[in-house]
Structure 1
Amino acid sequence: MSGKGDCYDNAVMESFFGTLKNEWVHHQQYQSRYQARSDIFKYIEGFYNTVRLHSSLGYMSPNEFEAKYHDNP
C-alpha cells in the first residue's frame, strides 16, 4: 500500500479528474457553484459514462461495450 500523499494511491481518479478538466472544465465559465456542479454532472452522465471512447474498453464507448457484452455472453 502506498503512503499518504503518494500519487499512485489514487491514480485512476487522478486520471479521471485530469481528463474532466482538460476536456470540459477548462473550456467553460461558470457563474455559480451550482451551475458548475450541474454542468459537470451532465458531462459525466451524458457523455463520459455513455458515449466517450475509453482506451480501457478497446476504444469503444461504455454503451457499445455493454451492448457487445450482452450480445455475446
Structure 2
Amino acid sequence: MVLDLFLGRIIGWNLDARITAKLAVTALKRAIALRQPPEGCVHHADRGSQYCSENYRKVLFAHGFIVFMSRKGNCWDNAVTDSFFKTLKAELLWQHAWMTR
C-alpha cells in the first residue's frame, strides 16, 4: 500500500496472500499512475525485501524518486506509517468478519 501522508489517503494498493516484490511494484505503479509525482519526490520504506528488490528499485529510479530507507534497527523511522496502519486495522479490519481476502 502506498500512503500519501500529507493528504492522509491511500493512493496505491494491491492485495495478495503474500507480501512479494510483485505486489509492491503493482501498488507503486498504481500510486504513480494516480498521483503522477514529479521527479525528486522522496520515497520512504522499511528494509523489507520487496522494497529492496531490483524490479521495485527500477520503477522508483525510472520515475525519479529519491529513495530513503529506514535505518537498520531504528523503529522510529516508520512510526507515522505504522501508527496509521494500526489505526486502519483496529477501526476497519478487526471489527468485521470478512468473507474473502
TM-score interval w.r.t. the shorter chain?
A: 0.3 to 0.5
Greater percentage in strand: 2
State TM-score, norm by structure 1: 0.37
**Higher-Rg member (1/2):** 1
State TM-score, norm by structure 2: 0.28
Greater percentage in helix: 1
